[in-house]
Amino acid sequence: MANHKSSAKRAKQTLVKTERNRFYKTRIKNITKDVLSAVEANDKEKATVAMKTANKYMHHCIAKGILKKGTAARKVSRLQVKVNAL
């Protein structure tokens, strides 16, 4: 338990940030899975729509500070290569 008022506040802020980050990271995983499942099913239309959503959301996460620019670019690029292969 925190001994100082400021450390108690930091502990509380950490819990809030951890929960928020978990939400974003889980959403990234789910959106990525949507793209990959569409690619597995050879559904080009569904994959293209899912890819558009994934690209938009990953760049949204850059703005929020959840992902670094290079990480998001790498994830989007790898997904896009798979979609283009259809």
**pLDDT at position 60:** 96
Mean pLDDT across the chain: 95
The domains located in the chain, with CATH, are 16-84 (1.20.58.110)
Q: And the tokens for 50?
A: 């899912």
Q: And the tokens for 61?
A: 């996460």
- Decide: helix, strand or coil at residue 35: helix
Q: What is the pLDDT of residues 10-46, one digit of tens each?
A: 999 999 999 999 999 999 999 999 999 999 999 999 9
pTM: 0.84
- Residue in the block written with tokens 């670094």: 68
Going by pLDDT thresholds of 50, 70 and 90, the confidence category of residue 1 is confident
Give the pLDDT mean for 60-85: 96
Taking a C-beta distance cutoff of 8 angstroms, is the pair 54, 76 a contact?
yes
